[in-house]
Chain A
């Protein structure tokens, strides 16, 4: 079962935002996230808002009408963000995630990108990413994606080791990753590979194999995530029943350190705790927007949005979602108006994850006082602190939650 949405205030039927949220929107960066909530099968570890085709039965939502619904939401978004003064800037980044976006025809994905362009305009050189299952990416699809305006493909590789993939319920053939990478690159797109470490049964040697396989493919960008056993997933039930061991923090720490070691030696620099890029131009600018507190509009069932301190989230199920947007109503299920304090806390919580770090003057007094101690215990970089920024050391990256707690006082 997908995770429950947060508790929040109701969203007005027309999706209108308080004037304060729109004030200064022309001076802020804006991105668009599109959530495609479909998968062929549900993986045992995954708690994302996604549905298999049989699960959709009877709700009138189908893969075939998803693009229509997304376009309808973007039309609504254009109305909501329109102001008397200068409106939003052109969109700098689009990210299509899921689910499995490539369950949809490339043409449908293209229609959604076009709708973004129609709503606010796509900035020249905009980054347009889609996630993709390695099995589905053929040279033909890659060409279609490029033609539809995509500039970047993120492949859910997860591991190069068959039994690790089996534990994760991933059905793709590891050999297809190489062909997918080649196809994407040949179409002139950037390529990113996603990895998961800490899967039950994965040895350190398995993880090294995955990393080395990735490096051999020379992607532009690598994401590596520690496996989190989420409540309500099949994996959580297996762990609870003792069928598979729970991921172990120390093991994940070893694996993170190995990733940092191998990736950095191959020229990949970390720019966020779980993300490495081959040079600054290879970073995922869309995701950077989340960590910098930019605005973004999340399109699709269960997608979260953030505009000027208002965060809201759409209804989760594709059926009610489609019905609402078709009727011209906001699909928002709930929202929160962040207090100044909450926004500041979020800024610390997110900003400190970045290699560029956080300006110390964004911290409260308690936080500034904690910096020296964090440097002394090897969690923050001393030189960066002297230069006025809180930047995590390698040890600090693994203990970022502790650092955040200290910085928030």
Chain B
């Protein structure tokens, strides 16, 4: 109903009865206006003074603000007064837990959801629900969160609130009238939404006298403070200067600071049941404070950790190499630094005959890959080449030995009994006119249809099982172009399957170019080979001798191209006025030579590697702001 004007009336951390607490998150697609709505909530509740307000207040990293996505979540404490039954105003405390907005971070999303009792389902009134929102909605429903359906951007001329209210009502089983209509831009409907949160989101329940149990739902490295850990207290309470223990590792830490964010961090006297806040222990690596882990008191330990903890598991691998070989130590240092803030980042040194020294890096997904790469380039000034992304394969040999392959060049050459690859459960939402092209695409990517539902006469949800390897390879770009950008796409891991997979090698003049080896389905090996050989033929300059380019499975050549020998390179005229120009050209070419990589006796310009390795996109959702 209203902000609380008297500061003394605002319930303080560690002294807030759970009954007045409301923990909620916002589930939304990337450009459906979550950050703008959050900005309005900060304003309406009075926690940010108007003169200090700025757009996307809660998004801290540059990269977040530019791409309009939230990589790391935060939790903001906001007081809100609601009319009491017997007159007057009851002060409540709303904790808004910001969730990461992308499929790569499903696990982080699930932990954020686990910290809440309710979720605002925010949908653009001009676009309707998207696949990723739908996936997170299902996740919230599985977690038994109270769902408050909200249509945003009702101020837009293109808004169709009636149509999409119908759609939302159908999805969550409510009446279209129950769907709130707001504008994050103008602030219309925002106070009503806050009231509704107080009314419909259940208050947290926990045992105040039990040993402390708090769930870590985010963990961020800060240069000045070390790791800042965000927690939701389930049972008991945490207070300053006590020792805490991480239940997955039993490591104990001194609690240097405990507090809440409103919306700047402010130390508190502790955190009680149901409260959300942050901890600082002085650890320097987010791996010591992992998302999903349970924090307990070191003195009075809880018996059982909270459920749902999982070690992050990389799904996609790619080799990253510095363009300039002498930058290798810089890359290593940069990765060591990024690791502090990214518990899911795994890497190990790798050598490629073609690309030199680099790292094989495991990512949660394609967006994660892109973000890491962009941060390395932007924050550390690195120029990088990345190899084609691949997934993890389990290979069983006929002699019974088994191995895990994260790099195609390690794929064994002996007698293979079976290869398994990860598969995902994928959801595509699109206007129904695109069913044909979508099915065609999924079919060509070895997908099997699991089901199809109409959300409305015009919108359809298709569910597929797809090999992850097919998804990481420009699937999303393809989907976008086949549906004129209207389809949205989401996937989550769903185990493994056996498949007839082979390694295709690319050979230049008989020498294998490790960076171009790929593990592909046997039916697609030929197409890959032809495409890669053709690409390289265009990209590699003619040499003094003929250079055969072959694609091969083992020793069997499946595709072949030839780069004809160069016959003429000489500039025919060279007189007095040409000499300076020619010498300078020569000096420039000499510089260029340094960027040549030798594959056997073939000189390949670095640009050729980059171009051959680049996909037309990396199959991820790109910036739309």
A-facing mask of B567-584, CB < 8 A → 1, else 0?
111111111110111111
* Residue from the set B566, B568, B574, B581 with the largest chain A CB neighbour count within 10 Å: B568
Task: Check B583–A402 contact: CB distance below 8 A.
Answer: no
B-facing mask of A365-409, CB < 8 A → 1, else 0?
000000000000101000000000000000101111110110010
* Residues of B close to A253: CB separation below 8 A: 567-568
* Residues of A close to B576: CB separation below 8 A: 33, 290, 296, 298, 303-306
Task: Check A397–B570 contact: CB distance below 8 A.
Answer: yes
* Residue from the set B574, B580, B593 with the largest chain A CB neighbour count within 10 Å: B580
* Residues of A close to B186: CB separation below 8 A: none
Task: Check B590–A398 contact: CB distance below 8 A.
Answer: no
* Residue from the set B544, B545, B567, B577 with the largest chain A CB neighbour count within 10 Å: B577
B588 CB → nearest A CB, Å:
12
B231 CB → nearest A CB, Å:
62
Interface size grouping (class) on chain B: 20 to 34
Q: Residue B353 at the A interface, CB < 8 A?
A: no
The complex places the Cα of A353 from the Cα of B578 at a distance, in Å, of: 14
Q: Residue A167 at the B interface, CB < 8 A?
A: no
Task: Check A346–B569 contact: CB distance below 8 A.
Answer: no
Task: Check B544–A402 contact: CB distance below 8 A.
Answer: yes
* Residue from the set B544, B584, B590 with the largest chain A CB neighbour count within 10 Å: B544
A243 CB → nearest B CB, Å:
23
Q: Residue A302 at the B interface, CB < 8 A?
A: yes
CB closest residue in chain A, given B545: A377
Task: Check B568–A405 contact: CB distance below 8 A.
Answer: no
The complex places the Cα of A256 from the Cα of B580 at a distance, in Å, of: 25
CB closest residue in chain B, given A304: B577
Inter-chain residue pair count (beta carbon < 8 A) = 99
Q: Residue A68 at the B interface, CB < 8 A?
A: no
Q: Residue B250 at the A interface, CB < 8 A?
A: no
Task: Check A398–B569 contact: CB distance below 8 A.
Answer: yes
Task: Check A6–B570 contact: CB distance below 8 A.
Answer: no
Partner of B570, one of A273, A306, A342: A273
* Residues of A close to B569: CB separation below 8 A: 249, 398-402
B437 CB → nearest A CB, Å:
33
Q: Residue B352 at the A interface, CB < 8 A?
A: no
Check A405/B593 contact, CB under 8 A, given A377-B544, A398-B570, A399-B569: yes
Q: Residue A63 at the B interface, CB < 8 A?
A: no
Q: Residue B586 at the A interface, CB < 8 A?
A: yes
Task: Check B577–A313 contact: CB distance below 8 A.
Answer: yes
Task: Check A228–B573 contact: CB distance below 8 A.
Answer: yes
Q: Residue B589 at the A interface, CB < 8 A?
A: yes
B577 CB → nearest A CB, Å:
4
A286 CB → nearest B CB, Å:
9
Task: Check A250–B579 contact: CB distance below 8 A.
Answer: no
Chain A stretch 328-358: residues in CB contact (< 8 A) with chain B:
336, 342, 345-346, 349-350, 353
CB closest residue in chain A, given B577: A304
* Residues of A close to B593: CB separation below 8 A: 405
The complex places the Cα of A6 from the Cα of B582 at a distance, in Å, of: 11
A-facing mask of B583-612, CB < 8 A → 1, else 0?
110110110010000000000000000000
Task: Check B579–A398 contact: CB distance below 8 A.
Answer: no
B-facing mask of A210-248, CB < 8 A → 1, else 0?
000000000000001110100000000000000000000
Q: Residue A136 at the B interface, CB < 8 A?
A: no
* Residues of B close to A206: CB separation below 8 A: none
* Residues of B close to A6: CB separation below 8 A: 580-581, 584
CB closest residue in chain B, given A293: B579
* Residue from the set A290, A296, A298, A353 with the largest chain B CB neighbour count within 10 Å: A290
* Residues of A close to B582: CB separation below 8 A: 349
Q: Residue A144 at the B interface, CB < 8 A?
A: no
Task: Check A311–B580 contact: CB distance below 8 A.
Answer: yes
The complex places the Cα of A342 from the Cα of B575 at a distance, in Å, of: 17
A127 CB → nearest B CB, Å:
15
Partner of B590, one of A250, A256, A405: A405
Partner of B568, one of A250, A291, A306: A250
B54 CB → nearest A CB, Å:
46
Check A249/B580 contact, CB under 8 A, given A353-B574, A402-B544, A405-B590: no
Task: Check A256–B586 contact: CB distance below 8 A.
Answer: no
* Residues of B close to A287: CB separation below 8 A: 575
The complex places the Cα of A401 from the Cα of B589 at a distance, in Å, of: 10
* Residues of A close to B544: CB separation below 8 A: 377, 379, 399, 402
Task: Check A346–B579 contact: CB distance below 8 A.
Answer: yes
Q: Residue A252 at the B interface, CB < 8 A?
A: yes
A407 CB → nearest B CB, Å:
11
Task: Check B567–A399 contact: CB distance below 8 A.
Answer: yes
Q: Residue A274 at the B interface, CB < 8 A?
A: yes
Given A311-B580, A399-B570, A401-B589, 9 more A-B residue pairs with CB atoms under 8 Å apart are A33-B576, A250-B567, A291-B574, A345-B586, A349-B582, A397-B570, A400-B570, A401-B570, A405-B586
- A-B pairs with lowest CB-CB distance, top 6: A253-B567, A226-B572, A400-B570, A253-B568, A401-B569, A398-B568
Please name 18 pairs of A and B residues whose Cβ atoms are closer than 8 Å in the assembled complex, sorted by A: A3-B581, A224-B572, A226-B572, A228-B573, A250-B568, A273-B574, A290-B575, A290-B576, A290-B579, A304-B576, A304-B580, A306-B579, A311-B580, A377-B545, A399-B568, A401-B571, A402-B544, A405-B589
Residues of A within 8 A of B (CB): 3, 6, 33, 224-226, 228, 249-250, 252-253, 256, 273-274, 287, 290-291, 296, 298, 302-306, 311, 313, 336, 342, 345-346, 349-350, 353, 377, 379, 395, 397-402, 404-405, 408
Residues of B within 8 A of A (CB): 544-545, 564, 566-577, 579-584, 586-587, 589-590, 593
